[in-house]
Amino acid sequence: MLRIPLQVLVLPFRQGTDGTIGYAIFRRADYADDCWQGLAGGAEESESAEQAARREAMEEAGIPVGAPLIPLDAVASIPASHFRDRHRWGPDVYVVTERAFGLRLDHSFAIILSREHTDYRWVAYAEAARQLRWDSNRTALWELNERLTRGAGVSPS
């Protein structure tokens, strides 16, 4: 399918039996250095951001499409020049919008990595914030952590 200029970011999390929250971060396979991020990818033609987030989570981590997804307010802009398909979008597409989501997983769920990642870790908020490479990932993580620790606005769709 044709990729459209819409990016999604998915931040899986789980809550331990002691109430602590762990966040999954992923090491990209296509970077020479340690590049840790959430699950990310582009929307395909006729896909909504939510549909793309669910598909990317399934493709990159084996997460079932029906897992509880939490839309976040965090939105970022990424230069179109960072994307392989930019030539298909025409000369007037300068930035690509990135929509962010939290994704609740059961504590016992086992992530299955695709070839896009070489490793993943379950870490606490502070460690995730230190490891994430991109500002957009850190901002979305901050919002998700605030929503979870305050207990407000976390109704999954």
In a domain, 146, yes or no: yes
- pLDDT, residue 134, reads 93
pLDDT of residue 156: 57
Amino acid at 49: A
Total domains present in the chain: 1
pLDDT value for 129? 97
Q: How far is residue 96's CA from residue 31's CA, in Å, rounded to a whole number? A: 21
Burial 78-109 (b: 16+ CB within 10 A, else e): bebeebeebeebeeeeeebebbbbbbbbeeeb
pLDDT of 151: 77
Q: Which residue segment(s) compose the domain that 86 sits in?
A: 3-150
pLDDT value of residue 33: 79
| pLDDT recorded at residue 64 | 95
Q: Tell me, what's the pLDDT at 121? A: 96
The secondary element (H helix, E strand) that includes residue 156 is: none
Which ranges of the chain have pLDDT less than 70? Answer: 152-157
- Predicted model pTM: 0.92
Residue 51 included in any domain: yes
CATH code for the domain of 69:
3.90.79.10
Domain-embedded: residue 86: yes
Q: What pLDDT, on the 0 to 100 scale, is given for residue 157?
A: 55
Say if 156 falls within a structural domain: no
Residue 155 lies in a domain: no
